[in-house]
Structure 1
Amino acid sequence: MTLHCAFIGFGKSTTRYHLPYVLNRKNSWHVAHIFRRSAKPEEQHPQYSHIHFTSDLNDVFDDPKVKLVIVCTHADSHFDYAKRALEAGKNVLVEKPFTPTMTEAKVLFELAQSKGLTVTPYQNRRFDSCFLTAKKVIESGKLGEIVEIESHFDYYRPVVETKPGLPQDGSFYGLGVHTMDQIISLFGRPDHVAYDIRSLRNHANPDDTFEAQLFYGNLKAIVKTSHLVKIDYPKFIVHGTKGSYLKYGIDQQETSLKANIMPGEPGFAADDSIGQLEYVNEEGVTVREAVKPETGDYGRVYDALYETIVNGRPNYVKESEVLTNLEILERGFEQASPATVTLAK
């Protein structure tokens, strides 16, 4: 069974992070329409020849074959487009951040539930190679009880144009929404969150540097991003009562996509980086292991949604996880940084 889907928006998000994976899943997905406000030369690419491009949203909403609408527009329009799609009887996938506020997210979830539909964020980085590998190590139990995990998403981009905006236009909403989702997917809702959110390169702009510390009893999870890191940190550092895991290098899907190497093509997301695992086994002997990377695949978001829509499987991201993530994002701007907040149970 092939499901028909449609996109709202035809920018980099659609062309780089969604379409390559959907078009590689012809047995399960068919792209019927793409709504954009004005025509673009990219539409003439042969790989898009079967897609109907339109500037009339009704072409998307009135097509009974369309079972999923993907919203890939600026964050300030996510809520409106998702709400309209749900009201039209469509399941909805929304690019990050899902919505700027928890209040808007709750409206969407309640509307979807009332109509028997699914609405969900595009948390593609649950399927990063580096995260899947760290998750496998953690779940193996070799590290014992996890006491600290640190996740970095850094760049060296010291020069930036002046581009003022709202919190949802900054790095905490843009990248923290992914790295915190990875932590929340592993450990759930934290007890406390400590924030350090700053704009270092251009004070007229939203934040470009952040550190959030999520506390879970004895466990501290740290997510960090900066655009002023010239020498890389490890991507993941994990410490447990029995050992440690360290991994340099991020998933290479984005690198391949930027180089126009598509999913299914030779060399796509090739990654020869090796993680270091060292732990004390049950005999008290120190064991050192080289950990090969798991295979990353952002298309697994679409595989999961297919199973949800067709077979009624639970959504790949729980509603509670989405709301926890948005609450942490939103509360980070309630007061000046640095700050600590306690999350209600």
Structure 2
Amino acid sequence: MKINCAFVGFGKSATRYHLPYVLQRRDTFQVKTIFDITRHPDIEKEEAYQGIRFTSDLNDILLDDSITLVTLCTPPQTHFDYAKLCLEHGKNVIVEKPFTRTLAEAQSLFALAAEKGLTVTPYQNRRFDSCFLAVEKVISSGVLGNIVELESHFDYFRPDAFDAPADYTHGAFYGLGVHLVDQVVSLFGRPECVHYDIRSVRNKNNPDDTFELQLYYGETKAIIKCSHLVMQPYPKFILHGEKGSFIKQNIDQQETCLKAGKLPETSDFGQETEYGVLKYLDAQGKALTERVDAGNGDYGRVYDAVYATLCQGAPPYVSVADVMTTMEILHRAFEQPTPALVRLS
């Protein structure tokens, strides 16, 4: 069975992070229509997009009964309205990050999808980063025993920040933190409380560019951090347990390849540049050191998972509970000044 799908939005998100993977999956997906308010004739003529209908009339998607899945690659403030419209017209929906601007909007979309017997899901591609898959592999192996602390970074060195005033949904926390929070939630579930430190460091006229969250799970703590003023990078992941530690230095390489114009079908696409190092005590108390290889990442696995949900009845790859927890953590960050400690209900 092949799913006829469509895209709303034809900017960097669609052309870099979605279409290269979907167009690779021609046995399961057929991209039929792409809608954008602003047309891009030169890009539309590229060989990769031949056979796809481009339009500036959204009804060409909404009123086409053969299209059963729509991916939204539009600005955050449009996500709720577009997703609601697509659901009302009988389409399953994938929504780029952040899923919605508010918790209430997310609740409304899930309620509508359930009423219509449809699926609406966020595009949490970072669940399929090679570095995160390595962390998952180590935790599931059990060799570290009870996990004491996880630290995750998403850092850059971009000291210049020109005026770009906007609301908080355009800041680093909503834009990048949504991935880091989702990764933690997928590993540990719903935290008991969250400590927030969210700041605009480079340009006070702009939304936040720096954040640190501490998420508490009984004896386990997860720390997520992002800054645009880190010239010498931290390890991407640091994991400590009762029996040892795991450190993964480098982030997944898919984005680097995509920015360089390299496509997923290339043989060395997303190739790991280093492997995480695991050090732990075995059952006899002997110290062991191992290299952890979880394979290369693949953002296309989001579409594989959605296909399994729509065509094979598999549960959503991101549960509704996980989405709502992530959205609550995002939403509650801005209910009070930071730093602040917030206990989840």
Shorter-chain TM-score: which interval? over 0.9
The answer (yes or no) to whether the contact 2:124–2:182 under 8 Å persists in 1 is yes
Note the 1:248-327 alignment, pairs <5 A. Answer: 248-327=249-328
Structure 1: distance between partners of 2:210 and 2:28? 39
Q: Is the 8 A contact 2:137 2:294 kept in 1?
A: no
* Equivalent position of 1:150 in the other structure: 151
1:83-232 alignment runs, 5 A limit: 83-232=84-233
1:213-236 deviation per Cα after TM superposition (whole angstroms, max 9, x unaligned): 100000000010000000010000
Is there any run of 5+ residues in structure 1 with no aligned partner, and where? none
Find the residue that maps to 2:322 and give its secondary structure. Answer: helix
Rounded Cα–Cα distance in structure 2 between residues aligned with 1:313 and 1:237 = 32
- What TM-score comes out, normalization by structure 2 length? 0.99
How far did residue 293 of structure 1 move? 4.2
Distance of 2:295 and 2:159 partners within structure 1: 32
Provide Cα deviations, 1:287-309, integer angstroms capped at 9, x if missing partner.
11122242200000000000111
What residue number does 1:65 align with?
66
> Could you give the per-residue CA deviations for residues 257-306 of structure 1, whole angstroms, max 9, x where no partner exists?
01111011122111130211110110011111122242200000000000
2:36 matched residue in structure 1: 36
**Residue 24 in structure 1 maps to residue 20 in structure 2:** no
CA–CA distance in structure 2, aligned partners of residues 288 and 267 of structure 1: 27
Mapped partners of 1:124, 1:178: distance in 2? 8
Q: What SS does the aligned partner of 1:184 have?
A: helix
RMSD of aligned C-alpha atoms? 0.7
Write the distance in 2 (CA, Å) between the matches of 1:81 and 1:312: 25
Greater shift after overlay, 152-161 or 268-277? Answer: 268-277
Partner of 2:4: 4
8 Å CA contact retained: 1:271, 1:293: no
The one-letter code of the counterpart of 2:3 is: L
CA separation in 2, counterparts of 1:15 and 1:164?
26
**Greater alpha carbon shift after TM alignment, 50-59 vs 258-267:** 258-267
Give SS of 1:4's match: strand
The aligned residue for residue 338 of structure 1 is 339
Amino acid at match of 2:124: Q
Equivalent position amino acid for 2:13 in 1: S
Secondary structure of the equivalent of 1:153?
strand
Q: Which runs of 5+ in 2 are unaligned?
A: none
What TM-score results when the alignment is normalised by the length of structure 1? 0.99
Contact 2:271–2:296 (8 Å) recurs in 1:
no
Distance 2:273 2:70 in 1: 36
- Runs of 4+ in structure 1 displaced over 3 angstroms? none
Question: Partners of 1:8 and 1:251 in 2: how far apart?
Answer: 27
Note the alpha carbon deviations across 1:114-164, whole angstroms, 9 max, x for none.
010000000000000000011101110010000100000000000011101
CA contact (8 A) 1:123 1:301 kept: yes
Structure 2 equivalent of residue 247 of structure 1 = 248
3-state secondary structure, aligned to 1:66: coil
State the SS of the aligned residue for 1:79: helix
CA distance in 2, matches of 1:199, 1:335: 15
Contact 1:273-1:292 within 8 A present in 2 as well: no
SS of 2:155 mapped into structure 1:
coil
Amino acid at match of 1:4: N
Q: Deviation per CA, 1:11-66, whole angstroms, max 9, x where unpaired? A: 00000000000000000001000001122121111110110000111100111111
Alignment partners' CA distance in 2, 1:317 and 1:169: 23
In 2, the alpha carbon distance for the partners of 1:152 and 1:203 equals 23
Q: Distance in 2 between matches of 1:116 and 1:138?
A: 35
Distance in 2 separating the partners of 1:145 and 1:212: 21
Identity of aligned residues (%): 58
- Report the AA paired with residue 306 of structure 1: Y
Cα distance in 1 for residues equivalent to 2:91 and 2:101: 21
Corresponding residue pairs, total: 344
